[in-house]
Amino acid sequence: MTERTHPPFLVAVVEDDHQLASTLARQLARYEFEPVLLDCRQDIARAVDDISPHIVLLDINLPKYDGFYWCRRIRESSVAPIIFVSARNAGMDQVFALENGGDDYIVKPFDMDVLVAKLRAQIRRAYGSYANAPDVVRDAVESLAFGPFELNVRKMQVGFQGHWTALTKTEFELLRTLMEAKGAVVSRDLLLMALWDDTTFVDDNTLTVNVTRLRKRLTELGATDVIRTVRGVGYQLVVEESLG
């Protein structure tokens, strides 16, 4: 057996065909994913929130509510990629899946290699690297702490003195970069590169706007004046200020 070069990615499987779900779980494990089969009769959105998977495989035809409904519910608290897996091959079903918060769609029956390729592509987009790349550890870690702040990486939430709030993807990446610097000043150029893959057409004012939004979000948690502007250089996360 080959040694793992990365932590296993948690895959939530929402499939009401028990035989197919079990087969899919075995196949995913062979590719070094960590599958978790969810009970389709329960509150799927709550189950996803409880386990915080890296990615979700979601059927459409489910008991009580369909996959489109559950996708919208999951999106209320999670930004994990969602791939619809369904026997329904109509174009409008695929359009509806994407418009309701899905990231990709694969039609049953499918080639397992194709599904794995889609999983890895979504992981690359969401977490910044392919599944077998060494630097994926940064994105597979569940939490990051600095001073009184704790960052839940999977849920993109920040905690401060027992209170939590969800962040947008840009706010999350901005705060994570500042937290990883552990009090050091982070240049505007570095932040721009961390937040946007292509900074060619990014207005410098865009960063300022997002810093302002993050400051407001942290202030709502009770952490005021914690992001300090270093004029002409960049920004700094100052934990002493947050502790009063």
Nearest to 99 by CA among 84, 121, 115: 84
Residue 237: what pLDDT? 95
DSSP helix/strand/coil, 185: coil
Average pLDDT of every residue of the chain: 84
Residue 128: band (very low, low, confident or very high) from pLDDT cuts 50, 70, 90 = low
Q: Where are the alpha helices (DSSP H) in the chain?
A: 18-30, 44-51, 67-75, 91-99, 112-127, 137-140, 169-180, 188-195, 204-221, 239-242
Residue 4: band (very low, low, confident or very high) from pLDDT cuts 50, 70, 90 = very low
Q: What is the mean pLDDT of residues 223-236?
A: 93
The domain made up of 9-138 is a member of CATH 3.30.300.30: no
DSSP characters over 68-134: HHHHHHHHTT----EEEEES---HHHHHHHHHTT--EEEESS--HHHHHHHHHHHHHHHHSS-TT-G
> Cis peptide before 109, with omega less than 30 degrees from 0?
yes
Residue 3: band (very low, low, confident or very high) from pLDDT cuts 50, 70, 90 = very low
Q: What is the mean pLDDT of residues 143-153?
A: 89
Residue 206: what pLDDT? 82
Residue 12: what pLDDT? 95
- Residue spans of the domains in the chain: they are 9-138, 141-242
Contact call for residues 220 and 166 (beta carbons, < 8 A): no
Tokens standing for residue 220: 């709502």
The domain made up of 141-242 is a member of CATH 1.10.10.10: yes
Percent of the chain beyond pLDDT 70? 86
Residue 126: what pLDDT? 77
Considering the entire predicted model, what is its pTM?
A: 0.56
Nearest to 42 by CA among 20, 11, 73, 84: 73
